Structure 1
Amino acid sequence: MMDFNSDISSLILPNGRSVPGTLDSEDQVKHVLEQVSNAYGFRGFMVLSVPDSGCRNLAGQTQLTTWPAEFYSRYDGASLIQGSPVIERLRRSTIPFTYDAHQLARRRLDGKGDACVSVFEAANIPRGVYLPVHDAVGNRGAIAFGGDRPVVSNDELQALNLWAGLLYSRWAFAKRRDRRGPGSLSRREIECLRWAAAGKTTVEMARIMALSEYTVNHYLNRATRKLDSVNRVQTVAKAIRAGLIN
């Protein structure tokens, strides 16, 4: 069995760089995933929970991502998760695989193949890989890397699968730890709440923090869950009362 708690600093990326051996936060894991994505020539990554058969949107299953927000808007707007050959494969298999939007389009039985190709092409992620992963308690997920680079080799696929397993394990551990109450808000979550308290919109926060709108919303939604709030206004109010922001 692979030890996903082992030191990963000994692993070397294709560009010759190594990564920190200790990854203590979701932000740190996200940064390394970006490094891996860039080193292998992809345009971005997505970490998702494997959707069940009743799931109606991909955005709600996505935990971390650098894929553009417009991709999710168009994908879910066209209801492409239903009938997706990729999602079906992730539900029944734990073997990593490559994807090509054009080839997958021919396997759809709902007549939405052209729409699917259009969505992936517009986001510049027509080819890539999906790497099934799981955490210590058995929750299943996948990490996808997408771009317009040539199809990955078998050696690259094996290396990416190793990175995916290690980083998902670290991310899942950090996520469980960060759910321990209001004092465990991450630095990014607190930063987003500070800007929200200052009256900044999601678009403005994304620009200030050099993040995507999707990522800003992810941090705000995560803070809302941790503080057991019903909306952003209540979350900011609770954070102020708890002394987390001022």
Structure 2
Amino acid sequence: MRHMLFTERDIAELWKAGASFELEFSELRTQFDVFRALKRVTADFGWRAFMVMRMPRDLEDITLSALSIICSWPAELVNRYDENGFLKRSPILARLKKSVTPFRFDMTNISEQELQGPVATAVELFKSFNMARGVYFPVHDVLGNRAAVVLSGDREPAEVNEMLQLSMISTLVFERISQLQHADEKPSEELSEREVECLILTSAGRTSSEISEVLGVSEHSVNHYLNRAAKKLGTSNRTQAVAKALRIGLIR
């Protein structure tokens, strides 16, 4: 078995490239900026399309389009993929859910014995879009949310040094996406203690009248606190405010 050894120069080049990408991605201000940057990276490495997708906790009624965060795959490919229900049977997704190691997948190497039924249909679908090969990079954010960055096309399989560079880029890309999403979800103004208490009690199913009794304030005050909380969270009513507060961890 031949081992791949990296020289000090190789390591220095990878480090330099990583620092350059880190600076570039840190300056991206919107998710569309991330899309354009990743589209350029995809082309620079000779791939056709990319997808950044969340890892599902449950495959029941989940589609690829629902999991996609940003994607340059052809819409027809995604639609046909979902129509055929390929996600539930995907060996790639199964591997992504169980591993944190980047890997390559080449549909042109699937044996004739395996190339039957849905597998054959899926392979033909990806071949028709010249996307039978791909590289896959499991990533996660600081909250532990898991995702994957996928580059697809028909170029020759990626070399080890390319996999290392793309793994580093994928980590930076998802970190920036997470930062932008978190920034979008932060309240425009900090909620007061009373506003948080009203949201907690509302999430427990209490009415304004019941909350007023628990907190010892008027029902009018409760409605005022809830309206203020909804405004600060950028939502239109108390139901949406509770849902967002739960999602961003403001209440539990």
**TM-score, normalized by length of structure 1?**
0.64
Match of 2:44 among 39, 56, 59: 39
1:138-217 map, 5 Å: 138-180=144-186
Query: Partner amino acid for 1:67?
Result: W
Q: What is the alpha-carbon distance in structure 2 between the residues aligned to residue 71 and residue 159 of structure 1? A: 27
CA RMSD of aligned residues (A): 3.0
1:11 aligns with 2:20: yes
**Pairwise CA distance, 1:10:** 3.8
Instruction: Tell me the equivalent position of 1:207.
Output: none
- 2:123 counterpart residue number: 117
Larger Cα-atom Rg = 2
5+ residue gaps, structure 2: 1-15, 189-233, 238-252
**Percent identity at matched positions?**
29
- Which residue type is aligned with residue 149 of structure 1? R
Q: Give the match for residue 97 of structure 1.
A: 103
Gapped runs of 5+ residues in structure 1? 1-6, 13-17, 183-225, 230-246
Shift of 1:21: 4.8
The residue type equivalent to 2:73 in the other structure is: W
Amino acid at match of 1:111: G
* Equivalent residues, number: 177
Deviations 1:83-139 (A, max 9, x none): 211010011101000111234587969831111112211222111101000011110
Q: Distance in 2 between matches of 1:106 and 1:73?
A: 26
Contact 1:104-1:113 at 8 Å conserved across structures: no
Of 23, 26, 31, 2:31 maps to 26
Paired residues of 1:8 and 1:19 also in contact (CA < 8 A): no
* Partner Cα separation in structure 2 for residue 49 and residue 24 of structure 1: 21
Give the equivalent residue in structure 1 for 2:196: none
SS at match of 1:82: helix
1:70 aligns with 2:76: yes
Specify the alignment match of 1:233 in structure 2.
none
Matches of 2:126 and 2:165, distance apart in 1: 24
Are 2:55 and 1:59 aligned? no
Provide closer, same or farther for how the CA distance between residues 52 and 103 of structure 1 changes in structure 2, counting only shifts above 3 A: farther
Counterpart residue number, 2:93: 87
Distance in 2 (CA, whole Å) between partners of 1:103 and 1:112 is 16
The structure-2 alpha-carbon separation of the partners of 1:95 and 1:22, relative to structure 1 and needing over 3 Å to count, comes to same
**Runs ≥4 residues deviating over 6 A:** 105-110
**C-alpha distance 52-20 of structure 1, shift in aligned 2 (>3 A):** closer
Query: Partner amino acid for 2:96?
Result: L
Distance 1:108 1:172, change over 3 A: farther
In structure 2, the partner of 1:48 is 53
Distance of 1:107 and 1:94 partners within structure 2: 29
Measure, in 2, the Cα distance between the counterparts of 1:107 and 1:161: 32
SS of residue in 1 equivalent to 2:147 = strand
